[in-house]
């Protein structure tokens, strides 16, 4: 099994160290595995870090001028000529850790050829719940427009977070099922994804990445599969939590507008 993990770091070196340590330990449990880790370093306060101690993985670093989350990841992915040599390509934050048995379970799962994206269980320590499935069914155009206005009119956002959002915190245990989109903190793309989409071209700085990839997968006639026995622990928005609300709202509006204009124009 050959796996590429492209993780995007923004001034979060302690979280990055914990993440790499968890990957290295999980990789040590599997005999026939190659894990290549490509760190996209968007940091404005760059630290010099060595990665020689991770004996079960191969680590490389690409330093970029804070180009954003998916833009940073796709910069690396799109530059790899032999991307189809990988069984899986993960795009992730660094404020997460992988479970000890993650690669053991990944090696043993049976995934249909038309599955382009595997969404693992992403357990939020803060909310004490699985953040997947992120979106089970495709959003309607009206719902996306409502979300746009929620980020345009802040009072609507605060009303949402105090009411409807609280329902998401209720723990629901879903079985392995096909869904529309997984959570963006760890997105595991299969070789099947890249057979249909050699390159990823998302132009938005932050947010909306899940919806974009979901639309790409759907357009290719393929599926997103939620697999709860693959477990990630989410330590919650280390980078995005530092955004000022005005900037947070702006980036969300831009991402929703792009999704609407690109995929809901009919």
- Sorted by where each begins, the domain ranges of the chain are 2-263
pLDDT at 219 over 80: yes
Q: In sequence order, what DSSP letters do the residues of 169-198 get, joined into one string?
A: TS-----SEEESB--TTEEEEEHHHHHH-S
Taking the CA of residue 225 as centre, how many other CA atoms within 13 Å lie in the half-sphere pointing to its CB? 19
Q: What is the pLDDT of residue 237?
A: 57
Alpha-carbon span 126 to 182, nearest angstrom: 19
pLDDT in tens, 74-86: 999 999 999 999 9
Owner of token pair 């702006």: 250
Q: What is the pLDDT of residue 236?
A: 67
Alpha-carbon span 203 to 177, nearest angstrom: 30
Mean pLDDT across the chain: 93
Alpha-carbon span 83 to 194, nearest angstrom: 8
pTM of the entire predicted model:
0.94
pLDDT in tens, 239-264: 566 788 899 999 999 999 999 999 99
Q: What is the pLDDT of residue 172?
A: 77
Confidence of residue 160 (pLDDT cuts 50, 70, 90): low
Instruction: Reply yes or no on domain 2-263 having CATH 3.40.50.150.
Output: no
Q: What is the pLDDT of residue 118?
A: 98
For 10-133, where are the E strands, in sequence order? 34-41, 58-63, 88-92, 96-98, 115-124, 129-130
pLDDT at 215 over 90: yes
CB 39 within 8 A of CB 61: yes
pLDDT in tens, 21-67: 999 999 999 999 999 999 999 999 999 999 999 999 999 999 999 99
């Amino acid at each position: 099994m050959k796996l590429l993990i492209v993780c995007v770091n923004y001034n979060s070196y302690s979280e990055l160290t914990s993440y790499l340590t968890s990957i290295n330990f999980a990789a040590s449990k599997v005999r026939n595995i190659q894990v290549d880790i490509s760190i996209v370093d968007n940091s404005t306060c760059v630290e010099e870090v060595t990665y020689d101690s991770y004996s079960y993985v191969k680590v490389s670093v690409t330093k970029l001028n804070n180009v954003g989350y998916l833009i940073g990841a796709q910069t690396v992915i799109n530059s790899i000529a032999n991307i189809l040599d990988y069984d899986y390509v993960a795009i992730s934050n660094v404020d997460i850790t992988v479970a000890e048995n993650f690669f053991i379970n990944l090696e043993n799962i049976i995934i249909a050829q038309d599955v382009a994206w595997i969404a693992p269980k992403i357990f939020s320590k803060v909310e004490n719940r699985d953040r997947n499935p992120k979106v089970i069914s495709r959003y309607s155009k009206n719902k996306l427009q409502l979300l746009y206005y929620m980020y345009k009119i802040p009072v609507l956002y605060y009303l949402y977070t105090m009411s409807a959002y609280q329902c998401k915190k209720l723990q629901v245990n879903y079985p392995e099922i096909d869904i529309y989109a997984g959570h963006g903190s760890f997105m595991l793309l299969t070789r099947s994804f890249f057979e249909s989409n050699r390159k990823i071209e998302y132009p938005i700085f932050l947010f909306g990445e899940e919806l974009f990839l979901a639309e790409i997968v759907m357009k290719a006639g393929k599926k997103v599969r939620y697999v709860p026995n693959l477990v990630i622990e989410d330590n919650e928005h280390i980078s995005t939590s530092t955004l000022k609300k005005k900037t947070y709202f702006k980036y969300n509006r831009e991402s929703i507008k792009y999704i609407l204009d690109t995929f809901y124009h009919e």
